[in-house]
Amino acid sequence: MSDYLVPVFDLGGVFIDWNPMYLFRKLFDTEEEAQWFQDYVCTSLWNIEFDAGTSYAEGIQQKTNHFPQYFDQISAYNHRWHEMISGLIQGTIDIQEELVAAEIPTFAITNFSREKFHECLEKYEFLRKFDGIVVSGNERLIKPDYRIFHRFLDRYSLSADQCVLIDDSFPNVVAARYLGMQAVHFADPAQARKELIDLGLPLKAV
């Protein structure tokens, strides 16, 4: 392992611009209808169930049982899931490429369904450049649960003080800092790059 801090990235909101509203706006005529659907039917809390290991078949079935009038829209949450991604965040990919070129090991801890992560792994090359990824859907643990951080550290034989987490969720940042990691609360790639440079990582200032 190098003398540099080990960067440990989140994926959604850091590398992948994912938002269910990108899909919901296609399923409904108005912004208000799409927002209501997210607030009361296919909610963020419901999505966490997939991140925690629930299969899409099971989750979609349960939800359509409760809201049969939205069968098509709820089903789209599975078979049109990739329409929730508007694209990749190139600035973060650039950071990863510089770190890989400098032979700095890079890792990820992500709240992600097992099924959708597998699909993304085949689709996005940057995911295959990490030295290791801990996926919540595989572990049945989700950030900011301390246990998923401990599992990551144990799996890759790292100590918390060797690592810096880069995550757009402030509760995840707080959990990482509590465990002894450095942490960057991600807002955009330029800000993250500056903070990582300040922490000593060999990145170009832009």
pLDDT confidence of residue 3: 84
Domains of the chain: which residue ranges? 6-17+87-198, 19-85
pLDDT confidence of residue 107: 98
pLDDT confidence of residue 108: 98
How far is Cα 142 from Cα 148, in angstroms, rounded to an integer? 7
Is residue 31 within 8 A of residue 189, CB to CB? The reply is no
For the chain, residues with pLDDT lower than 70 are: 1-2
pLDDT confidence of residue 206: 82
| Fold type of domain 6-17+87-198 | Rossmann fold (3.40.50)
Where do we find the tokens 């757009």?
A: 168
Is residue 175 within 8 A of residue 167, CB to CB? The reply is no
Residue 172 token pair = 């995840």
Q: In what order do the strands lie in the sheet with 163-167?
A: 132-135, 107-110, 6-9, 163-167, 182-185
Whole-structure pTM over 0.85, yes or no? yes
Whether omega before 68 lies within 30 degrees of 0, making that bond cis, reads no
